[in-house]
Amino acid sequence: MTTDALSRVFSALSDPIRRDMVARLADGDATVNELAEPYDVTVQAVSKHLRVLEEAGLVSRSRQAQRRPVHLEAGVFDLMSTWIERYRRHAEERYRRLDDVLAALPDDVEPVPPTRQGA
């Protein structure tokens, strides 16, 4: 289900440690032990965070190499930026219509329509 996939991506990123791990993986692949180093948590806890990121499709782990480095799937982030950009363009289109509405209004217009004032 596509909406679930989207929710998994965003809920995976709702945790500060996982966001931090993602930020570090943006610099390059790393092993679980390397990722666990800066945190005051067990390797098991880090593995659990990684599983969440993996299930969301944000990271992948090599099946071949013995140290199984964690790799960031940057494509998912490109996709998220695309969504945000589409949202922005949508808002921009709306505000260009507002530009036109404003251009047609007299300069001395009251901020609130008369029938709604008072009460």
Partner 1 sequence: MSTTTHETEIVADPRVPLVRITREFDAPPAKVFRAHTDPELLAQWLGPRGLEMRVDYFDCRTGGSYRYIHTRDDMEAAFHGCFHEVRPSEMIVQTFTYEGVPDEVALERVVFEDLGNGRTRLIATSLVDSFEGRDAFVASGMDVGVREGYERLDELLARQK
Considering only residues 59 to 78 of the shown chain, the ones binding partner 1 according to CB under 8 A are: 60, 73, 75-76
The region of 24-32, 42-50, 62-70, 106-114 touching partner 1 under the rule CB under 8 A is: 106-114
Asked whether 4 and 57 are in contact (CB, 8 A), the reply is no
- Backbone φ and ψ for 71, nearest 5 degrees, come out as -120, 135
Distance CA 61, CA 46 (A): 14
- Pairing of the two strands 70-72 and 59-61: antiparallel
Q: How far apart are CA 109 and CA 101, in angstroms?
A: 12
Q: Is 107 in the site for partner 1 (CB under 8 A)?
A: yes
Does the protein bind partner 1 through residue 25 (CB under 8 A)? no
Binding site for partner 1 (CB under 8 A): 2-3, 5-7, 9-11, 13-14, 19, 57, 60, 73, 75-76, 79, 82-84, 86-103, 105, 107, 109-113, 116-117, 119
